Amino acid sequence: MTEQKRTSAKKIIVKSGPQHELPAKQKAAKQATVADHRTIQEAAQPLKIAQFCWESLHAIREGGLSPAATHLAEVLGMTHEVHFFTRGDGPDRNMGGVTYHFCQPEGDTILDYCHDMSMKLLKKFYELDTPPFDIIHFHDWHCVDALEELKDRTTLMSYHSTEYGRNGGNFGDSPEFHSISAKEWSGGHLARRVITVSKHTETEIMWLYGIPEQKIAVIPNGIYPEQFCLPLDPGSVKKRYGIHPLAPLVFFIGRLVYQKGPDLLVDAIPQVLKRRWDVQFIIAGKGDMLRELEERCRTFPVRFTGYISDEEYLQILNACDLVVIPSRNEPFGLVLTEAWSAERCVVATDVGGLSENITNFIDGIKVPVRADSLAWGISYILEDPVRIRAMGLAGKRKVLFRFNWKDIGRMMEQVYITMLMRPGEETGRKEA
């Protein structure tokens, strides 16, 4: 679901991963390329597609990347042969029309861990590369070492975020920041095509990494709105959290880290309460800011839930009066489309994908990245229940029109086919 709560930060196994020497046959196979040219008729045939991603809905889930990559694979799997290479336990298996291939990486650091994952998944890839895969699609930087090995093939890399963005729109000083950024740079230049989830992310990678504009296609994430709209009695859900059934409830869900701005919301709470004393808040998610935020909210009407299950998330989402997204950097904003799917009104910071997708005062309220602006937006809309309802319904209409997974799958399919019909070209970009 959201990138919230699921960041339970699966522990990296502290071992030195073995060096993976690929068999000679596989070394030779990696030099093979997909046919250099496709006719229209050939391109219309089902494709054999490999997707590399370090998380999925069916194994290890970390954040918003898992639903984005998994649902894309499943919608493509309705027409094509799709193989999904990821972390996880157990044997390979088919789920939702997609064949999943799992490995268990090891490593002392996140970089060692992802290198080990790349090599283990690459080994599984070569075992299935006859007949060869037509398209090889990488999601984010985690498997860039595998992309390096497959650079002569028909490859894409999707940027769901950048390390700069995950650092709240700031450059970091740590060796890890520089190493991950270097892998993001390398992946964008090695891949034949690049996908971003918003125009904001397109601009960001052009600026950060010098990715040519003509190489990039902008394709948003999709959503299945029916999965997020739950009929219930909001008052009964509020009562479970010690909240009066008629009290307005403001909901935040996400990682409790600097990028997501929960501290901005906490700074805004006293200003909201000055205008209206009965507003209640639920903050769901885990992260390194949790203890600090709990301490600062000891005298405020705020409930910190920590990690919550999908079921509990849906109940709070459909019971709340307002969803707040105070991010400092947000490539897309999956929480936004989930809130709209539940017909909830949203107050969000005017950044990234949130800025692109919200039509101000029509289907949400956009404010500057400041606590006093958040406080104003929350207070303003809570005074108008009719408009809150209207904005939620307008968001639902936008979700149905713009973020339908079948349409997004067709957009991605068209990028694939264009690559196969025009080998060597990095043009013909398509946008949502």
pTM value? Answer: 0.85
* Superfamily for domain range 225-402: Glycogen Phosphorylase B; (3.40.50.2000)
For 36-62, what is each residue's pLDDT tens digit?
Answer: 445 444 556 899 999 999 999 999 988
Average pLDDT over residues 123-152: 97
Three-state SS annotation for the chain: CCCCCCCCCCCCCCCCCCCCCCCHHHHHHCCCCCCCCCCHHHHCCCCEEEEECCCCCCCCCCCCHHHHHHHHHHHHHCCCEEEEEEECCCCCEEECCEEEEEECCCCCCHHHHHHHHHHHHHHHHHHCCCCCCCEEEEECHHHHHHHHHCCCCCEEEEECCCHHHHCCCCCCCCHHHHHHHHHHHHHHHHCCEEEECCHHHHHHHHHHHCCCHHHEEECCCCECHHHCCCCCCHHHHHHHCCCCCCCCEEEEECCCCHHHCHHHHHHHHHHHHHHCCCCEEEEECCCCCHHHHHHHCCCCCEEEEECCCHHHHHHHHHHCCEEEECCCCCCCCHHHHHHHHCCCEEEEECCHHHHHHCCECCCEEEECCCHHHHHHHHHHHHCCHHHHHHHHHHHHHHHHHHCEHHHHHHHHHHHHHHHHHCCCCCCCCCEC
| pLDDT at 4 exceeding the cut of 50 | no
Give pLDDT, residue 38. Answer: 52
Question: pLDDT-based confidence at 63, cuts 50/70/90?
Answer: confident
430: confidence class by pLDDT, cuts 50, 70, 90: very low
Q: How confident is the model at residue 308 (pLDDT cuts 50, 70, 90)?
A: very high
| Of residues 122 and 20, more confidently modeled | 122
Examine domains 24-222+404-421 and 225-402 and report if their fold is the same.
yes
- 94 beta partners: 99
Q: What is the pLDDT of residue 12?
A: 38
In this structure, of 61-65, 363-367, 416-420, the range with the lowest mean pLDDT score is: 61-65
Average pLDDT score, the chain: 90
Q: For 202-215, how does the pLDDT look when each residue is reduced to its tens digit (9 = 90+)?
A: 999 999 999 999 99
Domain ranges of the chain: 24-222+404-421, 225-402
| pLDDT above 80 (res 1) | no
CA distance 307 to 42: 48
The confidence score (pLDDT) of residue 11 equals 37
272 has pLDDT over 90: yes
Q: What CATH number was assigned to the domain covering residues 24-222+404-421?
A: 3.40.50.2000
Question: Regarding beta strands 98-103 and 93-95, do their DSSP bridges make them parallel or antiparallel, or are they unpaired?
Answer: antiparallel
Identify the band that residue 16 occupies on the pLDDT scale cut at 50, 70 and 90: very low
- The CA distance from 341 to 401, in Å, is 12
Longest dimension (CA), the chain: 71
Per-residue pLDDT of 90-120, as tens digits, reads 899 999 999 999 999 999 999 999 999 999 9
